[in-house]
Amino acid sequence: MPKFKKRFCGLRRHWLELYLLLLIAEKPSYGYELSTKLKDFDIMILGIGQMGNLYRILSQLEAEGFVKTDWNMQESGPGRKIYIITKDFYFFVMQ
């Protein structure tokens, strides 16, 4: 667990990650849905480059154990990668 505390000691650099974690904690979501929800905070994610950055951040959060992913397979169209907050993250928040 120490990596969690060290991770957010410089909050200015990680503000977008914190918004994403807040949104995922409210409701498990996929990447495009998260970019749409960020508009409520006046954060616009436009273009392929910025979406790539968003997915890079989500992958980093998954690698660090803050979120996990699952696939939502639909009848038509491709499956969607759903981001879900981990129990370890809830444990960290409650400390």
pLDDT in tens, 35-58: 889 888 888 776 676 788 889 999
Task: Please state, in angstroms and rounded to a whole number, the distance separating the CA atoms of residues 78 and 9.
Answer: 38
pLDDT in tens, 9-40: 554 457 888 899 999 999 999 998 998 898 88
Domain ranges of the chain: 11-94
What is the separation, in whole angstroms, between the first and last Cα of the chain?
11
Partnered with residue 3 across adjacent β-strands are none
Is domain 11-94 given the CATH code 2.60.40.420 in the classification?
Answer: no
Task: Please state, in angstroms and rounded to a whole number, the distance separating the CA atoms of residues 7 and 26.
Answer: 21
Task: Please state, in angstroms and rounded to a whole number, the distance separating the CA atoms of residues 78 and 31.
Answer: 14
Amino acid identity at 21: L
